[in-house]
Amino acid sequence: MGRVKPVRRVLLCVGLLLLAGCSGKAAPGVQVGRSPTPGPPSSASPGADPAAQAAAIVARLGDEDLVGQVLMPYAYGNDATNVSADSKAGNQKLGGVDTPAQLVAKYRVGGMILVQQSADPTSSTNPTSNVESPAQVRRLTGGLQAAGKQLPAGVPLLIGTDQEYGSVTRIKDGLAPLPAAMGFGAAGDPALTKAAWGMAGAELAALGVNVDFAPVADTLGTAGSAVIGTRAYGSDPKLVGPQVAAAVGGLQGAGVGATLKHFPGHGHTTADSHTELPVLAQSADSLRANDLPPFKAGIDAGAWLVMSGHLDVRSMDPGVPASLSHKLLTDVLRGEMGFTGVVASDALNMQPVAKFGPAEEAVRAVLAGNDLLLWPPDLPGAYKGLLDALHSGKLPKPRLVEAVTRVVTLKLRLAQIPQPDMSTVDSAAHREVAGKAAAGSVTVVKGACTGPLARGPVKVTASGGNEARRDQLVEALRRQGVAIGDGGSRVHLLGFGDDASDLAPDAAVTVAMDAPYVLASAKSPALVATFGRTAQATDALAAVLAGKAKAPGKLPVPVGNLPRSAC
């Protein structure tokens, strides 16, 4: 489907009407959470132009509703209306309410974030969870949407999550798994990528998730990036771009908004933007040649969202996080690159911007060009800060109207797409696609291309924390007819975050299940990369080790002096 259509002419008309007398201020005595001029609930009309419909809806919203629509927080609890005592306490601290549904009503929010706690590069800012299972997520999203429909705007909520697959996967259990993005880069088959992300999008849509904070459009530098790693498709923008475009097509074809991140590119950094402000030291020419092309490819593919990164782009706006930079978000992203959809900030609870305080960071983010503010660390503070800035004139009303109109346009566009049935989740057809994706990513960078890589009785070992994967591979090898025991080849598995200290010097085969960089230090006769630790990746690895399948993948990033493939 196409990208969000330009709404500047409509916005200008709306802005003039508002400036002519529709102040949107609440009448005396009107409580927060209630509209001074509530209209009938609105929904997407089949065949209607979402942008024009959105402008009409936004024109009648009061200030409190306009402010709420640009906020997309997190709430405690695995249900919209029935939560535990601990979740009630968390929501009271978060926003003075008991439940997620009450949070939606009080702050008129535009959306809600789902997250599951895990040990990944984003864990420092995701300390809790409202995700347990597909069925639970479906109940939660249904309850949230019911609450959202009661707001004056009467439009669906945006419900988003970071479902990148690989190390950053919020909904882990019960969905057909995929390799990390770098695995698709290794497979080098955009048609496979589109099919796999179409499958992923259908499953998310069935659960009620209508925005995925993916795909990662960052291009990795030659040194890699610890916080991005296998989350990126590779280091060559000419190869990354088609992968990003394919993921966008797959997700949005299934009814889930794709989000290009982290603009203008987190791949040439060494610092982690969760805890400090990374510096992009390359020239503007280098940025345009290496970092921006995959974002442009995603935009040209019709991506409905772009996520702004907390990154210091020295060549364009030194010292200012890109997420708060008008030059980058308005002049470059919209002006130069032609993006007309929703710009969403990276999480505002991350240190590089949270340090400004809840009101200032929120106002600066909208003024810079963000239309949707993700995970404000102090929701009441952000809400009040935006409202105060709107009333004082610091935040011009036409700019807020523009942002909300883009958000509502996206909501109406998504609402026109039928929701898949839950029976599609983890279906046999989806597992088959996931298996093909896993098999396509397996890469032999050293060793024989035909016949078994592991001979004699095979002993499987693993670095700490990967014992479950070890046991999984043992069973997969047995299914391939491989004898397991001492006295033959040793296959050693390495996982997320492992380095040279985790290698086994006597291993006949060393397997990197996550980032392949550690293979540069390995001395094994055979070296393999799988870019995933799923059951499908394990089965594909076992088939290659047993000599029953070829390894079609090629390294999408440089790894020491190793070739892209030995085959």
SS3 of 444, please?
strand
Neighbouring residues of 128: CB distance < 8 A, sequence distance ≥ 6: 74, 76, 90, 115, 117
* Residue 183 near residue 234 (C-beta atoms within 8 A): no
Dist. CA 64–CA 108, nearest whole Å: 7
Dist. CA 538–CA 179, nearest whole Å: 11
Full DSSP string of 246-308: HHHHHHHHTT-EEEEEEET-STT--S-TTTS--EE-S-HHHIIIIIHHHHHHHHHTT-SEEEE
Q: Which two tokens stand for residue 261?
A: 């991140």
Dist. CA 315–CA 318, nearest whole Å: 7
Dist. CA 24–CA 71, nearest whole Å: 18
Closest CA relative to residue 405, chosen from 371, 374, 368? 371
Dist. CA 411–CA 386, nearest whole Å: 22
Q: Rounded to a whole number, what is the distance in angstroms from the first to the last CA of the chain?
A: 38
H or E segment at 211? strand 211-212
Our CA dihedral for 178, 229, 226, 504, rounded to 10 degrees, sits at 80
For residue 264, cis peptide bond before it (omega within 30 degrees of 0): yes
* Residue 423 near residue 430 (C-beta atoms within 8 A): no
Among candidate residues 268, 274, 310, 492, the one labeled active-site is: 274
Closest CA relative to residue 175, chosen from 531, 427, 418? 427
Specify whether 262 is catalytic.
no
- Tell the burial category of 9 from Cβ atoms under 10 Å away from its Cβ (0-12, 13-18, 19+): exposed
Quote the DSSP letter at residue 331. I
SS3 of 423, please?
helix
Dist. CA 491–CA 374, nearest whole Å: 43
Closest CA relative to residue 539, chosen from 434, 427, 430? 434
Query: What is the β-pairing status of strands 168-169 and 163-165?
Result: antiparallel
* Residue 323 near residue 368 (C-beta atoms within 8 A): yes
Phi, psi of 336 (to 5 degrees): -80, -40
Q: Which two tokens stand for residue 557?
A: 């990033």
* Residue 325 near residue 263 (C-beta atoms within 8 A): no
Full DSSP string of 28-71: TTPPTTS-SS------PPTT--HHHHHHHHHHT--HHHHHHHTE
SS3 of 343, please?
strand
Among candidate residues 312, 346, 378, 502, the one labeled active-site is: 346
Specify whether 274 is catalytic.
yes
Residue with tokens 């007309």: 340
| Catalytic residue set | 274, 346
